[in-house]
Amino acid sequence: MLTSRNSLKSRKELDAELGGAARAWLDEALAEAAHDAADATATPGAPRPGASPYASPPWELRYAAAGRHCGQENADSVRSLLLVESRASLPSVTRLYDQGTAAERRAVLLTLHLLDLGDTALPLIEDALRANDTRLVAAAVGPYAADHLDPHAWRHAVLKCLFTEVPVAAVARLGERAHGDAELARMLNDFAAERTAAGRPVPEDLRTVLALTAPAGEGDHPARPNAAPAAPAPTEES
């Protein structure tokens, strides 16, 4: 279930790849997360009685250290597994996101669609889409955003990718959501016109998305009339 388009590795894949010490660390971490999930069933995400207001469950500390124990290339996957195994609640993912480094935030964003959160975690996606850190923007436009962002916010997310040069290939279910979206097409055309007026190239990705906005049967003519200035403008991409 973790081998979807974001290519997070499954526990099986990690077990096959990791050395003995890393595997033992992962086993313990996942056991702690599972224990926390069982513990927290009654009061999800609640702090332990008598604990410092800043105290975190042990698995959350492991969440931060995942890359150092299992390799930085596996950090996203391990963090994601911990979130799934702990059945992380909204307070938990919010805390991990708020208190996380950029890499820790990214792992939260990449995992939201695997948790049973409905649309309650949207504020995290919205926060990431306000960021100028392109790693966060790219992680925010995954399956959870595709499932839950309203049309206005979703269109702005696509535009943000074009502005910040996050490849739109990062946008989950782009074709499906863009299909027949006349308002998105208008925004793209306006952006293209603005770029052209400034003598700047229109991003190639803009054309890609614009083509996807065409309603059925118009696939060969994606550009609406006012897109005309955009099409011939850039002779080369920067």
Partner 1 sequence: MRIFDPHIHMTSRTTDDYRAMYDAGVRALVEPSFWLGQPRTSPASFFDYFDALLGWEPFRASQYGIAHHCTLALNPKEANDPRCTPVLDALPRYLVKDSVVAVGEIGYDSMTPAEDHALAAQLQLAADHALPALVHTPHRDKLAGLHRTIDVIRESNLPPEFVLLDHLNETTVEAATDSGCWAGFSIYPDTKMDEDRMVTILQNHGTEKILVNSAADWGKSDPLKTRKVADAMLKAGFTEDDVDQVLWRNPVAFYGQSGRLQLDVLTPDPLHEGNSILRGGE
Residues that bind partner 1 in the complex, under the rule CB under 8 A? 3-8, 52-54, 56, 60-61, 64-65, 67-68, 72, 75-76, 99, 101-106, 110, 132-135, 137-139, 142, 164, 166-167, 169-170
CA atoms of 216 and 185, how far apart (whole Å): 14
Beta carbon of residue 69, minimum distance to partner 1 (angstroms, whole number): 11
**Shortest approach of partner 1 to residue 227 CB, angstroms?**
26
Q: How far is the CB of 214 from partner 1 (least distance, A)?
A: 21
5/12 with CB nearer partner 1: 5
Q: Which residue has the tokens 């009685």?
A: 49
- Write out the two tokens for 67: 């890359």
| Residue 84: HSE in the Cβ half-sphere, 13 Å Cα cutoff | 17
Q: Which positions ≥6 away from 188 have C-beta within 8 Å? A: 159, 162, 206, 209, 210, 213, 227
Output 69 or 207, the one with its CB closest to partner 1: 69
Give ∠ CA 26-29-34 in degrees, rounded to 5: 120
CB of 104 to partner 1, least distance (A): 8
Which of 120, 134 has the CB closer to partner 1? 134
Min separation Cβ 121 and partner 1, Å: 18
Which CB atom, from 31 or from 169, has the smaller least distance to partner 1?
169
Task: Judge whether 115 and 83 are in contact, CB under 8 Å.
Answer: yes
Dihedral class, residue 224 (left if φ above 0, else alpha if ψ from -120 to 50, else beta): beta
Between 66 and 214, name the residue whose CB sits nearer to partner 1.
Answer: 66
